[in-house]
Amino acid sequence: MRARKRTAAGAVAAPAADLPERPERMPSGSVMERRLGDTELFTPGSVACPGCGGALAMRHFLRAMGPETVVVIPACCWAIIAGQFPYASLTVPTVNCLFAAASAVASGIGAGLRVRGDRSSRVMAWVGDGGTYDIGLQSLSGALERNDDLLYVCYDNEAYMNTGIQRSSATPPGAWTTTTPGGKDMPKKNIMEIVTAHRIPYAATVSLAFPEDLREKVQKAREIHGSRFIHVLAPCPPGWKTQSSETVKLSRLAVDTKIAPLYEVENGLRWRITVEPRNLPVEDFLSRQGRFSSLGHDEVRRIQAEVDRNWAVLRRQAEVSPL
């Protein structure tokens, strides 16, 4: 991988011998628009970076959740994207809170709504990987252990992007950040194993490249009471050193290489894989990102072996305890 040609914005060009694109598995254009709904609750003109995966994720989630949603946002990229008072990019009630407090604040708002007799509104905590995997993990665990009635969404761009691209425990091995200039040498924390260990009613992973799967899971989570958790990988062009036009492509490759498989879990015990990957090599995903440009062939083989092990475990869980 060291010899790959560099492209604009620090991205890494795909090898010339890449296989041709396979047919898309999802519809596009007007057909997709009709299926996803026409209610826009995220206004145009926000300050999100071009190609921001977190911004696209919010748009999809709000279209599935509907207007009766309260969004709780701690310190993260979205604390900026949501807008500076008196302006706002969301047309639903939005509450900003401290970095570690999203779960606690969302729990409190949910309790307040119930006291007022509001049974139709839903509270959605919208938190980055730093506020989920690291700084807010204690608050999240407490809310899940109590089975508080909230939907917690982790939009995972795999680093502290808002403050200068520092590594988090969600940063994958080998990735460049400003605090791991030679590439991170620790594995990515498995947040789904931590969450499902709490035996909450519902947990799932979704992808920007599979919006129908995303919509079905979000709407399913909306109708469940108790704690729900959804993880979405959110490519970050500046932090990943990619082209802004590659966000959905990278999201699809993450699924098809089994780096970010799509599945759902009920009560921490019953598992179901919702999209079968194409079993592409991890290099197809890694080689498109400048943050992995220092990886050699040995490092890529180690990452491939780890991904294959994780997939085998997930497949076994889905077979032994199917949903």
pLDDT, tens digit (0-9, with 9 covering 90-100), for 114-159: 999 999 999 999 999 999 999 999 999 999 999 999 999 999 999 9
Angle at CA of residue 166, ends 98 and 162, nearest 5°: 50
Structure-token pair, residue 247: 């966000």
How far is 87 from 4, CA to CA, in rounded Å?
44
Which residues are within 8 A (CB) of 255 and not within 5 positions of it... i.e. 6 or more apart?
207, 209, 210, 261, 262, 275, 277
Q: Would you state the pLDDT for residue 221? A: 98
Q: What is the four-CA torsion angle of 265, 303, 140, 50, rounded to 10 degrees?
A: -100
Distance CA 274, CA 303 (A): 23
| pLDDT value of position 33 | 57
pLDDT of residue 12: 44
Domains of the chain: 29-320 (3.40.50.970)
pLDDT tens across 268-296, in order? Answer: 999 999 999 999 999 999 999 999 999 99
268 and 246 Cβ atoms separated by less than 8 Å? no
Strand order through the sheet with 270-275: 94-96, 69-73, 122-128, 150-156, 227-233, 202-206, 262-266, 270-275
Tens digits of residue pLDDT in 188-245: 999 999 999 999 999 999 999 999 999 999 999 999 999 999 999 999 999 999 999 9
Quote the percentage of the chain above a pLDDT of 90.
Answer: 86
Where is pLDDT greater, at 180 or 19?
Answer: 180
- Which string of DSSP letters, residue by residue, matches 10-55? G-BPPPTTPPPPPPPSS--HHHHHHHH-S---B-S---PPTT-HHH
Whether pLDDT at 23 is above 60? no
Q: Strands 270-275, 69-73: parallel, antiparallel or unpaired by DSSP?
A: unpaired
Q: Once rounded to an integer, what is the mean pLDDT over residues 56-68?
A: 97
- When mean pLDDT is compared across 8-12, 101-105, 190-194, 220-224, the lowest value belongs to 8-12
Of 254, 256, 262, 255, nearest to 289 (Cα)?
254
pLDDT, position 266: 98
The structure's pTM equals 0.90
Instruction: Provide the pLDDT confidence category of residue 39 given band limits of 50, 70 and 90.
Output: confident
Q: Does the pLDDT at position 37 exceed 80?
A: no
Tokens of 244: 């802004």
Burial of 188 (C-beta count, 10 Å sphere; 0-12/13-18/19+) = buried
Q: In DSSP terms, which residues pair with 264 in a beta bridge?
A: 204, 272
